[in-house]
A and B are shown apart, each in its own frame.
Chain A
Amino acid sequence: MKVKLQQERYTEKLVRVKPQEKRYTLLTDISRNRSCYVMVLPALLYTLVFGYLTLPYLISAFQKFDYRTGIFDSVWVGFKNFEFFFKSKNAVIVTRNTIRLNVLFITFVTIASVALAVYLNELKNRKFSKFFQSTYLFPHFLSWIVVSYIIFGLLSTNFGIVNKIFRFFNLKTINWYATAEPWTGILVIMRIWKTAGMQAVIFLAAIVGIDKQLYEAAVIDGAGRWKQITSITLPLIAPTVAIVTLLAIGRIMYADFGMIYAIIGDNGILYPTADVIDTYLFRTLRLLGNPAQAMAVGLYQAAVGFVLVYGSNWLVRKTFKEGALF
């Protein structure tokens, strides 16, 4: 009995002196991963300043914005700033073009960059691999202005390489800059040429991270190169592909202004296929310079982009949970 009592007291003492389990808070995490947080600090500050501190400015989309009074005292005009965009028949055309071009860009750039990443991974000769990787990356570092000169060199009516080839084969030449239809394809090709190399690097990094034992096991089981790609490589990089695609869908309402304006410029004949929201805005507002109207269309782009990214993520979460962003 005495022993039992002593044991109970001892246990009680142990319970009493047992240190309370420390809560794992954000500060704990920061103190444990200081260097990581230092590295992420510039991105956090950038997001804070440009992503959050600018949010109140959204209200100007509903105001007759006056620089003297700022957002609190400018006159409230409701949806008047949206009128110039939504009253115009061009709103439908440029919205359709923006979405169509971006869907084509996302689809074909993703296909091309995954194919490129797999191809580079399969190249066993390191020198060749490095050479091709550098070659595919190079266009990424060219500005769209330079690219527009390259396109002009290819497609100009008199001295363009493409028309010279057509002439050589006695084919009818095309006045490319006065024909709207081919420009969807031309823009997609140039987009792939310029951006697929960089995106392939992301997918290549994902492929390199795949456990080599999986491939060794597959070889033992008799799988060839193609089987390894379809059964190991592609399924395992699918989450990365899904995340990159979801992020791209979030910006589906934003066209690459630098690209489209450098290549298409003020060529009204090409607008039926190549005019997008951003170029339309630039063209319309460069003479008026009304920031509230620009904000109104920006808000429209952001709202649709938000719905699309949320919807796409919901769809991905239902069908392929690993690929969902949130």
Chain B
Amino acid sequence: MRKGFNIILALFLLLAGTQVFARGGQEEPEAAEGPVKVRWLIPGGAPLHPEEDTVVIDAVNKKMQADGYNLELEVIRIPWDVWQQKTSLMMATGEEFELIHIMEDQTAFSHYVGQGALVPLDEYIDEYGPNLKEKFADWVWDATKVEGNSYVIPAFWAEQCNAVDCFTIRYDWLRENNLSVPKTPSELLDACEIIQKNWSGEGEKPYFIKRTRDNTAFFLHRAYDSFPFSIFQKLIYVDQKGNVKSWVETVEFKKDVDFFREGYIKGLIHPDILGQPAGWIWNRIREGNFLYRSGCPLDLFGEMQANNPGMEEGDVGSPIFNPNGTIMRYYGVKNSNGVSVTSKHPEAGVQFLDWLYSSQENSDLFLYGVEGRHWIDKGPKKIERKRDSDNRTLYGIAEWMIGNVDYIRYQTSTHPRRIELMSEFRDDAVNSIIIGFVFDPSSVEAEYANCLNELEVSVLPMRMGLVSYEDGYANALAKMKAAGIDKVVAEYRKQFSAWLAGRK
């Protein structure tokens, strides 16, 4: 009797489990009676003011109904530390949601596509996204495609060609030390050395702002003779003629390493660069207590001003080396939103984004909340956000997740030059040759994963200046070779050449 009961229980568990995990493809959409749900998965903690969030989402839903979109929005936030695990689990178990935010520097959308996580969107965009089609240039749409199908809708929140290869430096400190704006990497090192030596503030002296997860040092590359070129995942070098090489084996990589090593030896890089908590770094940025910061032109100027009374717009700048050289656009899509295969209404996600990108009014409502209650219009592209007694904004959705460059507003304290750089489209920019190419690593997955890991283990200390090229290169290269870098580069070259040939 007991044995029989155990067998039945085991079978029940097995069946229950397999029912959860097994799905025979996408089910047919159910006929919707009420509004169709649009559940949007984004990384991040709970909102600071949940009640204000509810107010805004209700207002968004009412506005969508009034505009003829039968949709009901729900924003689902998943903490950063479990983002990858939880979203994978939700999709694997068939949990329904419509939209998922995708960050190319975390997990490229092509990986999601390779695992069958995203719905191809072309037919939905044709039918439900008239505003979307016009919103993005063809080269942006090209960057969303795998094997000819678009899988994501871009969050084109900034003109990326201005956002990547500049460096931010305090012009007031340059003037105080009778220095001009550095025009070469060696001038930058010299200027930083003098600024740090003559610095007389309180607390810890200023250093380079450098984070372990930072991108490749694009700002340095402009100064090299071989510019322009692109770097894929800190792993592969591609020049504009289409030559593909292993990045760590290039002369340019050596130049990067030598620059940071010199900075480290001169004491311009913090000795605990690899152990600094993220909060420490952000505090230095907000205080304006840094020698330089790469990318992010004139970011957080308002906070810097608040911490440095009397600081004016001309006291900070974000110059680029070789300003007469090619202006390069490195990314086609850096952030995007895809439609999950677990959704019974894939069209709903497309409809929502179509509504969002159809007007300034809709974008304002979702990104900044209810006008008057959460923000005040301060003119074109300007905003003043309302805050609580702790100076925290009452409501807000991160613009980089879903904002569009045409509609994004900036705080009144934002540096005017930043607004120009981030929002004005540059016709003179040249797109990186790799924009639109999506690398599929599935045939070299083991090698690719191990190379990415090895980058962190043996290459990162060189990139941060802690280990010299002479001391670290041979060992790092041997480890990269053992991890399979040659195989990865060969596969990238093969796919990239085929893609280029197809374009011609």
A290 lies within 8 A of B445 (CB): yes
Contact partners of A256 in chain B: CB under 8 A: none
In the complex, what distance in Å separates the CA atom of A83 from the CA atom of B443? Answer: 12
If A89-B482, A152-B277 touch, does A286 touch B84 (CB 8 Å cutoff)?
A: yes
A66 lies within 8 A of B116 (CB): yes
Give the residue of A56, A87, A158, A280 whose beta carbon is less than 8 angstroms from that of B446.
A87
CB of B94 within 8 Å of the partner chain: yes
B111 lies within 8 A of A288 (CB): yes
CB of B115 within 8 Å of the partner chain: yes
B20 lies within 8 A of A68 (CB): no
Task: Find the A residue at minimum CB distance from B118.
Answer: A67
A70 lies within 8 A of B94 (CB): yes
Give the residue of B13, B89, B271, B479 whose beta carbon is less than 8 angstroms from that of A53.
B13
CB of A90 within 8 Å of the partner chain: yes
How would residues 471 to 484 of chain B score, 1 for a CB under 8 Å from any chain A CB and 0 otherwise? 00000000100111
If A177-B275, A267-B212 touch, does A73 touch B460 (CB 8 Å cutoff)?
A: no
Contact partners of B273 in chain A: CB under 8 A: 177
If A57-B21, A286-B106 touch, does A158 touch B271 (CB 8 Å cutoff)?
A: yes
B10-35, CB < 8 A from A: 13-14, 16-18, 20-26
A288 lies within 8 A of B448 (CB): yes
CB of B92 within 8 Å of the partner chain: yes
B274 lies within 8 A of A67 (CB): no
B274 lies within 8 A of A177 (CB): yes
CB of B213 within 8 Å of the partner chain: yes
In the complex, what distance in Å separates the CA atom of A164 from the CA atom of B256? Answer: 33
CB of B91 within 8 Å of the partner chain: yes
Contact partners of A149 in chain B: CB under 8 A: 277, 279
In the complex, what distance in Å separates the CA atom of A266 from the CA atom of B466? Answer: 14
B109-125, CB < 8 A from A: 111-112, 115-117
Contact partners of A69 in chain B: CB under 8 A: 23-25, 116
Task: Find the B residue at minimum CB distance from A84.
Answer: B446
In the complex, what distance in Å separates the CA atom of A71 from the CA atom of B22? Answer: 6
Contact partners of A157 in chain B: CB under 8 A: 271-272
In the complex, what distance in Å separates the CA atom of A266 from the CA atom of B94? Answer: 33
If A67-B115, A284-B452, A286-B84 touch, does A90 touch B204 (CB 8 Å cutoff)?
A: no
B57-91, CB < 8 A from A: 81, 84-85, 88-89, 91
CB of A128 within 8 Å of the partner chain: no
Contact partners of A64 in chain B: CB under 8 A: 442
B106 lies within 8 A of A287 (CB): yes
CB of A203 within 8 Å of the partner chain: no
B449 lies within 8 A of A84 (CB): yes
A-B contact pairs, 8 of them (CB 8 A): A66-B115, A67-B342, A70-B92, A145-B277, A156-B275, A285-B84, A288-B441, A293-B445
Not counting A84-B445, A177-B273, A283-B453, a sample of 4 additional A-B residue pairs whose C-beta atoms are within 8 angstroms of each other reads A55-B13, A70-B21, A72-B18, A258-B81
Interface positions of A (Cβ within 8 A of B): 48, 52-57, 60, 64-73, 80, 83-84, 87-90, 145, 148-149, 152, 155-159, 175-178, 258, 265-271, 275, 280, 283-291, 293-294
